[in-house]
Amino acid sequence: MFTVVLVVVFLKAYNLVRNQFGSQKCTPQFALGHAQLVIRIERFLGLFWEQEIQGMVINWTSWIRFWNIFYGSAHMAVTVFVLGF
């Protein structure tokens, strides 16, 4: 029971911070500017690979569907497992 209370408290704190400083008060223009800044930093550091990697697999719908299901299932299973401790 302590674990559940702890998770709920941290989730509430996360949502409070996220809504205070995150997506709720963000305009699309601000989000786009931030995304462009992240891309500039990634390019500067030589880490801008996302578009190339996505381009290689974007048409593999079965592959994407598999990983979406895997992530959704594993995320839930791991969460339940951790809450069990």
- Are 35 and 2 in the same domain? yes
The model's pTM is 0.52
Regarding whether 25 and 44 lie in a shared domain, the answer is yes
pLDDT of the residue at 4: 83
Same domain, 36 and 6: yes
Q: How far, in Å, CA of 74 to CA of 82, rounded?
A: 12
Query: Same structural domain for residues 7 and 30?
Result: yes
Give how many domains the chain has, as a whole number: 2
- pLDDT digit string (tens) for 6-61? 888 988 998 888 777 766 667 889 889 999 999 999 999 999 999 899 999 999 99
Residues 1 and 42 in one domain: yes
Q: Domain range holding 61?
A: 56-85
Dihedral sign, CA of 71, 72, 73, 76? positive
Q: How far is CA 14 from CA 20, 21, 83, in A?
A: 10, 11, 18
